[in-house]
């Protein structure tokens, strides 16, 4: 017997067995009736008629039975209704119907499992994301509320206090504005609405411009911004200038913010055939190994108290990662406590 017979094969075997039994019985009956003189015409026609009848009856009921079962399965696993043509020609009796359906159900089950896992992951992410946003917004809002209520309770008439509290409230409003702007940027990047204006430009010239923009902040922290040895050569890359300016600004600003007094931040360029590797290295406080895998996560702060005191939204590195991903390039980080950090990203060579 076949391991996975088709309906046609099942009907064929059933008809043969029925035919064999009927033939033997019929032969015996005919032999007895004619006392050894068999009627060969009847003897030949009976098995043929029985065979054809048994075959088509078996095919009919198998087709009807299997189609009913398969229809129930397809109603369960398929999202769209099937056309009348598909329903009419749905059963091919020469194929391994059960095997094909089993394969489809297995594929459907694997797809469903992947969808459920993805849904659960996104649900966990949304819960965490909403919690992080609430936490980040709560602090400046609470501070602003406290300062304003203090002023309304009478401190507004004290010139020294009211000026100080208004400055603190304004600082927290700026922080709220930064968080909202960065959330908007993240939303655009994730939704794919960021349209890259890819052009050819000199990455060293752009880095020099960012150096000049951050010159005052670097001087306040006594951090020196410079190029690494061997970075005298200029490299032209293809990318969105404004987006890459934001990447460099965020990385350099972080190196200043978490750098040591009288520290340094150096930028290097490395030719990688079709790409250029840009590295931003500092000798600041560094990042512990357990935090390295999460530095590009939203609102992730290595040192929460110190990070919030330094300002920012906690979304800067996440935005950087999204921008580099949008360019179909890579970014990574190497770091050690009290030795500094090195962020490296690639861009297509022009």
Among 323, 270, 329, 264, residue whose Cα is nearest residue 296: 323
Same domain, 202 and 342: yes
Same domain, 240 and 342: yes
Is residue 106 in a domain?
Answer: no
Same domain, 257 and 336: yes
Total domains, the chain: 3
- The residue segments making up the domain with residue 141 are 128-191
Same domain, 165 and 81: no
Taking phi over 0 as left and psi of -120 to 50 as alpha, with beta for the rest, 296 belongs to: alpha
Same domain, 218 and 307: yes
Is residue 230 in a domain?
Answer: yes
Same domain, 178 and 262: no
Residue 241 pLDDT: 93
Q: Radius of gyration (Cα) for the chain, nearest Å? A: 38
Q: Name the domain boundary from 140, 174, 191.
A: 191
Output the domain CATH number for residue 166: 1.10.287.130
Residue 225 pLDDT: 92
> pTM value?
0.59
Output the domain CATH number for residue 251: 3.30.565.10
Alpha helix stretches (DSSP H) within the chain? 7-33, 40-77, 84-88, 97-152, 159-191, 203-213, 215-220, 241-257, 304-310, 316-326
First to last CA, the chain: 67
Residue 46 pLDDT: 65
Q: Residues in the chain, how many? A: 350
Among 146, 221, 178, residue whose Cα is nearest residue 308: 178
Same domain, 143 and 36: no
Same domain, 161 and 249: no
**349: enclosing H helix or E strand:** strand 340-349
Burial class (CB in 10 A: 0-12, 13-18, 19+), 327: buried
Give the number of other Cβ atoms within 10 Å of residue 280's Cβ. Answer: 23
Is residue 1 in a domain?
Answer: no
Among 238, 212, 224, residue whose Cα is nearest residue 328: 238
What's the angle, vertex CA 285, arms to CA 281 and CA 291, rounded to 5? 90
Residue ranges of the chain with per-residue pLDDT less than 50: 87-89, 305-309
CA distance 165 to 289: 39
Residue 301 pLDDT: 62
In this structure, are residues 168 and 126 in contact, taking their beta carbons and an 8 Å threshold? no
CA distance 270 to 276: 6
Burial class (CB in 10 A: 0-12, 13-18, 19+), 197: exposed
CA distance 261 to 171: 24
**265: enclosing H helix or E strand:** strand 264-272
Residue 108 pLDDT: 79
Same domain, 134 and 82: no
Q: Tokens representing 127?
A: 């819960």
Same domain, 44 and 136: no
């Amino acid at each position: 017997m076949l391991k996975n017979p088709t309906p046609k094969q099942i009907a064929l075997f059933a008809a043969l067995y029925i035919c064999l039994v009927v033939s033997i019985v019929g032969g015996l009956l005919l032999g007895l009736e004619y006392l050894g003189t068999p009627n060969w015409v009847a003897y030949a026609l009976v098995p043929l008629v029985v065979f054809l009848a048994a075959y088509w009856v078996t095919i009919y009921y198998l087709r009807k039975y299997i189609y009913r079962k398969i229809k129930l399965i397809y109603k369960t696993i398929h999202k769209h209704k099937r056309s009348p043509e598909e329903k009419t020609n749905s059963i091919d009796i020469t194929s391994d119907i059960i095997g094909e359906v089993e394969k489809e159900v297995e594929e459907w089950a694997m797809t469903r499992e992947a969808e459920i896992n993805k849904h659960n992951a996104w649900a966990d992410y949304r819960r965490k994301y909403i919690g992080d946003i609430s936490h980040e917004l709560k602090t400046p809002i609470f501070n602003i509320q406290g300062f304003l209520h203090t002023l309304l309770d009478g401190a507004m008439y004290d010139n020294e206090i009211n000026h100080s509290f208004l400055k603190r409230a304004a600082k927290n409003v700026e922080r709220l504005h930064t968080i909202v702007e960065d959330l908007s940027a993240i939303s655009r990047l994730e939704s794919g609405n960021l349209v890259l204006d890819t052009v050819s430009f000199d990455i060293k010239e752009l880095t020099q411009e960012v150096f000049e923009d951050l010159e005052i902040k670097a001087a306040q922290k006594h951090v020196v911004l410079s190029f690494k040895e061997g970075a005298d050569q200029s490299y032209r890359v293809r990318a969105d200038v404004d987006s890459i300016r934001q990447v460099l600004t965020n990385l350099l600003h972080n190196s200043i913010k978490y750098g040591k007094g009288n520290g340094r931040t150096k930028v290097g360029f490395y030719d990688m055939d079709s790409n250029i590797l840009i590295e931003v290295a500092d000798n600041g406080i560094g990042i512990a190994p357990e935090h390295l895998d999460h530095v590009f996560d939203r609102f992730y702060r290595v040192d929460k108290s110190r990070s919030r005191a330094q300002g920012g939204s906690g979304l800067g590195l996440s935005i950087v990662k999204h921008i580099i991903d949008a360019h179909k390039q890579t970014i990574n980080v190497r770091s050690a406590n009290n030795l500094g950090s090195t962020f490296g990203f690639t861009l297509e060579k022009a």
